[in-house]
Structure 1
Amino acid sequence: MEIPFIGSDAVADGRLTRAHLRSHYRPLYRGIYIPRHHQASLRERIAGVSLASPSAVVAGVAASAMHGAKWVEDDVPVELVAAVRRQRGLIVRDETLAEDEVTTVAGIRVTTPARTAFDLGRHLSRGRAVARMDALMNARPFAFEDLALLAKRHRGVRGLRRLRVALPLVDGGSESPRETWLRLLFIDAGLPRPTTQYVVRDEFGRYVRRIDMVWEDFKVGAEYDGEQHLTSRRQYVLDVQVRRTLQRLRWHVVHVIKEDAKADIIAQARDALLSRGWRP
């Protein structure tokens, strides 16, 4: 049996008895069931919403996941623009959607990438909004001009000021929430805005490294080192070899780990930039 499913339909079709439904399955939403011990994925939860309310439109973070954005946890609330009763695991928004702000992904009605970004920027705090919009931009690029048109169309809606603050900081080159966090840390500290995902080549044009973010004019870069740098011997050896090549090419790369203090990260990048000729 496919999951999730409509409980009353399964009983009516004879696939389950009411007793079997109650003993072996649990409600995901009202009338929508999954096996009792099954941990539903985000996609299954979204599918359950679509079964419960076919006219509902999935929005926000869940919509960004439907468009392919990464770093979306399975337990995030599913945002809906719909006239449905509120219940656990759902965020129901009473908002207006134009026909061209809705699309279909895998048979489910979701907000378009532009409208999804518009909502993320309005409803989330700046750091979270930029990280979510970065991930969406990386998966499904959207035009800033389209968001400006949406702001004009929906003049006066809640959160436009938040959107105006977050939108200029969006960069689809960011490949993880921590990269977004690091980029914003530098910008907030008054450092120049870095270029993301910059490819370094050697004097013969051979590929050396794609650095998370760089200040190209000063040959200074920064990378957020995740767990793979600690758990994979092969990755560690490759990193050491690449760092030697970057040093030979006169690149200074600041390597950041989660244990680093913000002040130390900023100081390293600032000192490197100043030593290469940057002047605030």
Structure 2
Amino acid sequence: MDRVFVGSEAIAAGHLTRHELRRWYRPIYRGIYLRKDVTPTVRDRTVAAWLASGRTGVIAGVAASALHGAQWVDADVDIELVAPNTRSQSGLIARNETLAADEVTKVAGIRVTTPARTAYDLARHLPRGKAVARMDALGRATPFSTEDVLLLIKRHRGARGLRRLRVALPLVDFGAASPKESSLRLLLIDAGLPIPTTQIPVIERGYQPFAWLDLGWEKYRVSAEYDGDQHRTSRPQYVRDHRRQRKVENLGWINIRVINEDRPHDVVQRVTAALRSRGWRPQAPKPAAAPR
């Protein structure tokens, strides 16, 4: 028995004795087991949560986004599911919420919230920055319609977290290739800079792009990109990036590279200075209407 299973069912079927269960297996959730020498994946823990609900729960939230193909989901993330008769426990969050039939689908035999409902839940239950990054990743893997999410707001009037949802949803951009890119985009928007375009193609000659810039402003030929650890740990990647950067600059782009150690204020200053050098000016605030 290499994957998760219900301990009582395995004993009843004669696959294991109680002694063998205690010796060779460990519980992930109450009554749900996995071999001690196996490190559980997010998939294992998702299946375990579903089994813990008596196979009646619906996987939701971050775990649902992972089932739909979203990346950047750690193996130890809390598994959320909609299961009125299931109690929360360490690593498992059970919610008693209303789900319509068209808000549930199946992935690999497990009931899971649809992409639109998953986005709806992510935005209601997470802080804005994390919610946007999670929805970006979900939409990149399985595009969903923001209109469908807005319809869920109308359907579930009075649900908790709708204010959060209304703030986060307009900021979603499926072009973000990582949570760091999502955070960088939000940092620049919050600083009052124009909303950037994501995944901008750069063409040197012919018709095929040689680069896709993380985010930027084509009108001003200014872009910003987040450099992950692969740029530091891989020499071949470093060389490719250096050559790519020179090509981008030769075509008239100011391409600002951002690393994890950069201070947010400094990043904003660098991008603002680049935009100003290309003619961008912040819009003056509209004057308040005169009292009548």
TM-score normalized with structure 2 length: 0.93
Question: Which SS does the other structure have where 1:222 is aligned?
Answer: strand
Aligned equivalents of 1:242, 1:206: Cα separation in 2: 14
Deviation digits for residues 169-195 of structure 1 (CA, Å, limit 9, x no counterpart)? 000000100000000000000000110
* Counterpart position of 2:81: 80
* Counterpart position of 2:264: 262
1:230 to 217, 232, 238: 232
Q: CA RMSD in A?
A: 1.1
1:99 to 90, 98, 101: 101
| CA contact 2:79–2:93 (8 Å) conserved in 1 | yes
Aligned equivalents of 2:8, 2:206: Cα separation in 1: 68
- Which is worse superposed, 243-252 or 182-191? 243-252
* Counterpart position of 2:71: 70
* Counterpart position of 2:251: 249
Aligned equivalents of 2:87, 2:209: Cα separation in 1: 55
Runs (5+) with no aligned partner, structure 1: none
Question: Which SS does the other structure have where 2:256 is aligned?
Answer: strand
Figure out how many residues of one structure are paired with residues of the other and give that number. Answer: 280
| CA contact 2:136–2:172 (8 Å) conserved in 1 | yes
Superposed counterparts of 1:24-173, under 5 Å = 24-52=24-52, 53-82=54-83, 83-173=85-175
Deviation digits for residues 10-35 of structure 1 (CA, Å, limit 9, x no counterpart)? 22222211111112111112221111
Aligned equivalents of 1:267, 1:121: Cα separation in 2: 29
Are residue 22 (structure 1) and residue 22 (structure 2) matched?
Answer: yes
Q: Percent identity?
A: 59
Deviation digits for residues 198-244 of structure 1 (CA, Å, limit 9, x no counterpart)? 11001444423111001000000010001111111111111121122
Question: Which SS does the other structure have where 2:219 is aligned?
Answer: helix
Give the deviation of 1:75 after TM superposition: 0.5
TM-score normalized with structure 1 length: 0.97
* Counterpart position of 1:195: 197
Question: Which SS does the other structure have where 2:228 is aligned?
Answer: coil
Question: Which SS does the other structure have where 1:157 is aligned?
Answer: coil
Give the deviation of 1:86 after TM superposition: 2.0
